[in-house]
Structure formats: C-alpha cells, structure tokens
Amino acid sequence: MSLQEFDALIDRMKLAFEYADNLGQYVEAAKVLFQINEQLPDDLQLTLEELENLDSAKSFITQHKSEINSAVIEYRQMLMNL
C-alpha cells in the first residue's frame, strides 16, 4: 500500500471514529479502532482485548486511542522512507 492510499484510508477511518466518539457511540468508535489497528503491519499491530461489554467501550477507547495513533504515525514514517 502506498503512503497516499494509507493516508486516504486512515483519514476516512479517523473521521468515522471521531464522528462516533463525538456522538457517544463508543462501541462503534471502538470497532473503528480495531479496524485501524488491522490496517497496520503485523509487527506494529497492538494486541487488543475483545470488548467484554458495552459499558467498557469508553474506557477501551481512552486506553488504546493514543497507542493506535502512535502506531499509525510510525507506519506512515516507514512508508515515507520507502
């Protein structure tokens, strides 16, 4: 995947995440985080636990959002250097 393709995909996913998060749809926002994580190469993917219940979605987002963003930035830098 090229840098431009990755950026376009991640930008759409981030918009979907922000939309769901802002509306308080934490389960949907958590699903988008899972999807973003799946777009990363295996060595950069986080090991994410399944959501145990709907109430844990907000804490899941709080816990993993910045980690996934950091992994996305790292992968972008790798793509830029190719």
**Does the pTM exceed 0.85?**
yes
Per-residue pLDDT, 74: 97
Residue 17: what are its φ and ψ, rounded to 5°? -60, -50
Q: Show contacts of 34-43: CB within 8 Å, 24+ apart.
A: 36/10, 36/68, 36/72, 37/68, 37/71, 39/6, 39/9, 39/10, 39/13, 40/71, 40/72, 40/75, 41/75
What rounded mean pLDDT belongs to the chain? Answer: 94
Assigned token pair, 40: 């990363």
pLDDT at 15 over 90: yes
**d(Cα 36, Cα 70) in Å, to the nearest integer?**
12
